[in-house]
Amino acid sequence: MTHMKSKIIVNFALIFLIFSSVLTMSSTLAYEDEPYTPQLEEINTISRVVVFSIDAFRYDYWSRTGDAASFEWLKEQGVTAAYNVPSNPSVTAVNHVSIITGNHPDKHGIMGNTFYDWETGKAYSLFSDPTDPYRDTNTGLHLITTKPSVIHAEEQGIKTAVFAWPYVDFGTEYEGMSPTYLFDYDWFGANNLRTDKGIANKAANTILDDPEIGLVYAWLPGVDSIGHSAGPESASVKQVIDFSVDVALRTFFEKLDSAGLLEETLVIIESDHGMAAVTDSDYFLETKPFFINAVANTGLDPYIAHDAAFELLYFIGETNTTKVEEFAGYLKGQDGVQAVFVNDEHNSINLDNPARGVNISVWLEPGRSRNFGSTYLGMHGYLNNNTDMRGIFLAVGPGITPGSTIGGIDMIDIAPTALDMLGIISGFETDGSVLSSIYGSRTEAFSYPDMYAPTISKITLNPTEPREGLANVIEVKVNEYGTIVSAEAEISIDNGTVRTINLVDIGSNNTFFGTMGDFVEGQVVSVIVTVEDSIGFQAIGDTVTFTVGALVKKTSYSLISLIALVFVVPYVYRRKRNN
C-alpha cells in the first residue's frame, strides 16, 4: 500500500512537472511571437538633426506643392511655420551664415554677398570681379566672427557634416576646427553633383556610411535660379519643385528609411529668403543724377560693394562722419530707393559689425534691381520687412507633433533649436530663440510611407481577349503621388519574338495606353508592364498572359452594313414620310 502511494505521488509529481514545463514553454513562445511595440520615449528619441536649406523657396510656395509627394507628406507629418524672416540683407551668403550661427550679421560678420573688411582692407565675395581692386574670393569659416553651431557640436563630441553650405568651405577653419565631413560648393561642382538630388543623395550616403553623425546642414539650389530668370509667379517654379526639389527630398527620406535611420532623425526644411517680381532690372545707383550730385557736392567717392537689390557704401580713408551723413542725404527719398541707413543707424537692422561696419546702405524698392549682365524677372536682397522676402520653415520627425502649425519664426532661431533638440544648447552664444512650440510627441515611429512609390493597380486589355487582325490596346492604371516619367510594356510571344512599346499618358489621372499590335491566332503572349517615377523608383506589374483569338473577318462588317441598308434605312424613310 505504501509502495502504491509512493508511485501515485511520483506520477503526480511527474505530471505536475510536465504540465508546468508546457505552461512555461507556451508562455515563452507567446512572448517571443508577440511583435515588439516601441515605447513613446523610444519613438521620440532624436539621434541626429538634418537641416535642408532650399534656396529662395518663398513662404507662399507651399500652395504649389500639391503634386510633390514629399512636401505634402512633410506638411502632414510635421510642424509648419507661417513664414521665416531672413536677416538683412536677404541674400544667400548672409542668411546661410545666420542659419548656421543663430545670429545676424552684426554678430557673424558676413554683411552681404560682397562686403568690405576695415582690418584687412579686402572686399570678400562669393563672386569674382577683376575690376574690383579690393575683391577677395577666399571665403570660408575663418571669416565668420561668431561660433557656428557645427563647431559647437564638434566641441561637444558630436560628429557633423556640411554639404555645399556658403562660407563653410573645405580647407578653412573656425578657431582651428571644422566639421567632421565637409563637401563644399566647389566639390559638388567638380563632381557634377551640384543639383538638388546630387546634394541630397550625398548627404544620405554620408549618414549611411557613418550613422554616428549628429548634425547635418545641406544647401539645395532649389528655386533660386528659376526665380531670377523666369520670375516668382512663373509656372517654371512649380516644375522645379515637382521635378527637382521633391525628387531630392524623396531620395533622402527613402534612403534613410530603408537603412532604419529615419525614425531617429529630425529633419528641418527651411529657406534662406524669398523672391520678389522685378519690373526694372537696369537700376544702377552710381549712374543716377542724385548720386552723381552727391559725389560732386561732397567731394566723396565711395567704394561700393555691389549687389542687385541693395548697395553697401564704404568711404575708405574718410574720417569726417558729417560729410558721410551729408552724402546720405542726397540718396534718401529718391526714385527707386526704399531706405537709406548711415553709420550707427545700421543697429536697427542688425547690420553694424565692429570690423565690417557699413557707412551707408541703400535699399532699392522691390521691383527694382541692378543686373550683372542678364535681365532679371525675380530678385531678393531687399529689406526683410518686405513680405516677399520671407522663407519657409518646417520640422518633422521624432519629438514633433504631426500636422501642426505655428506663427512666423526668425532665421536665427534654427541653430539654437537644432542644438536644443540634441541636448547641447548650453554654452552656445546666439541671439535666436529655441522654438519650443514645435516640440511634441509622435505616437508612431517616423518612417517614409511605401504608398509614395508607384504601384500598378490595374491592367486592362481591349478587347479583353486579343485577336488577330486588331490593334489590341493595353491600358494601365498607376497609383503614384508624384510623377511617372516612363511606362513601357514588354511583349513576349511564344515564337521567341520580344518587343517593347512605350505607354503614353493621355492626361487621364496616371492612366497609360499603348497599342500592342497584331498577332497570329493561337499565339501565346506574355506582357510585363514597368513604370518608373521621377525619383527612379519602379513598379513592375504581374505578368499578363493570353492566347490570341481568331482572325477578325472584315466581311462581318460588310454584313452588318448590309443589314443596316436593308432594314434600318427603309425604317427611317417610312418615319420621315409619315411625319
Q: What is the pLDDT of residue 79?
A: 97
Residue 113 burial (C-beta neighbours within 10 Å; 0-12, 13-18, 19+): buried
The CA-CA-CA angle for residues 370, 137, 155, to 5°, reads 120
**How far apart, in Å, are the Cα atoms of 149 and each of 105, 216, 394, 430, 516?**
15, 10, 19, 9, 59
Q: Which residues of 226-262 are buried (b: 16+ CB within 10 A; e: fewer)?
A: bbbebbbebeebbebbbbbbbbbbbbbbbbbbeeebb
Whether the ω angle into residue 232 lies within 30 degrees of 0, i.e. cis, is no
Rounded-to-integer distance, Cα 352 and Cα 364, Å: 19
Domain parsing of the chain, residue ranges: 42-109+144-275+380-438, 285-364, 453-554
Cross-strand bridge partners of residue 501: 489
pTM listed for this prediction: 0.77
Q: What is the pLDDT of residue 507?
A: 67
Q: What is the pLDDT of residue 535?
A: 64
Q: What is the DSSP letter of 140?
A: S
DSSP 3-state assignment of 352? coil
Instruction: Assign a CATH topology to domain 42-109+144-275+380-438.
Output: Alkaline Phosphatase, subunit A (3.40.720)
CA proximity to 54, closest of 289, 317, 210, 237:
237
**Candidates 2.60.40.1220, 2.40.50.140, 2.60.120.650, 3.30.310.50; CATH matching 453-554:** 2.60.40.1220
Chunked in runs of 10, what are the mean pLDDT values of the chain (579 residues)? 44 40 35 44 88 98 86 93 98 98 98 96 95 96 98 98 98 98 97 97 98 98 97 96 92 94 98 98 97 98 97 96 97 98 98 95 98 95 98 97 95 98 97 96 88 82 92 89 83 94 82 93 95 80 94 54 48 49
Q: What is the pLDDT of residue 459?
A: 95
Taking each helix axis as running N to C, give the angle between helix 92-101 and helix 414-421, from 0 to 180 degrees, rounded to the nearest 10: 30
Q: What is the pLDDT of residue 27?
A: 34
Residue owning grid cell 520653415: 393
**How far apart, in Å, are the Cα atoms of 285 and each of 19, 304, 317, 370?**
95, 10, 22, 8
DSSP string, 381-401: -S-TTSGGG-B-EEEESTTB-
